[in-house]
Chains A and B, each alone.
Chain A
Amino acid sequence: SQTIHQWPATLVQPVGSPLSLECTVEGTSNPNLYWYRQAAGRGLQLLFYSVGIGQISSEVPQNLSASRPQDRQFILSSKKLLLSDSGFYLCAWSAGTGAHPHFGDGTRLSIL
């Protein structure tokens, strides 16, 4: 069966520090991969999605970036975090375009 791992579960970072969140998927090949951000108790905002290695589409202009160095690895990064980057970050995978996403357990990011 397919599983998705996302870490860390929680992270507290100072303003201006770098960020690296990692997500890996097991049990499937060539998945679509997604990074979402969720404000407290609210809906999801799609940040990035990828349909293949090295292929990244950005939905929202920001100081975040994403990379897909391997088929089942998706990384969310920032060179300098802002206070507004605080939130709940969710990684997800789907079997292809049109298939529903399966989510990881998320990373709670707090910027101080």
Chain B
Amino acid sequence: TQLLEQSPQFLSIQEGENLTVYCNSSSVFSSLQWYRQEPGEGPVLLVTVVTGGEVKKLKRLTFQFGDARKDSSLHITAAQPGDTGLYLCAGGDSNYQLIWGAGTKLIIKP
């Protein structure tokens, strides 16, 4: 059974600080997606990475897919209160089904 472990489960930091969220597995994924979810809403896709070692940037967010396509990280520079939310990673398996991490709840305090 493929599993995705996200860490930390919860993170509360001050505005302006940097942070990194991790998504790890012992399995190889064909792709990996990051989503952000706000309370009372569905998750919204931030990025998809498909190539080992791939790095994608979305403004202050930097996403990296591990060389072996087993892990990924999300780095936020100079976090802002608007970054608050639940960050979910999801890996695509060989059957194109998504395996979901349990999420990282991020709170950015002004």
Contacts and interface: CB of A to CB of B under 8 A. Distances in A.
A106 B43 CA distance: 10
Interface residues of A, number: 19
Interface stretch (B55-63, B65-73, B98-106): B98-106
A101 B31 CA distance: 14
B42 to A, nearest CB: 3
B7 interface: no
Tell me the dominant secondary structure on chain B's binding face.
strand
A106 B86 contact: no
Contacts of A92: 42
A43 interface: yes
A105 interface: yes
A106 B39 CA distance: 10
Interface of A: 9, 41-46, 90, 92, 97-98, 100-106, 108
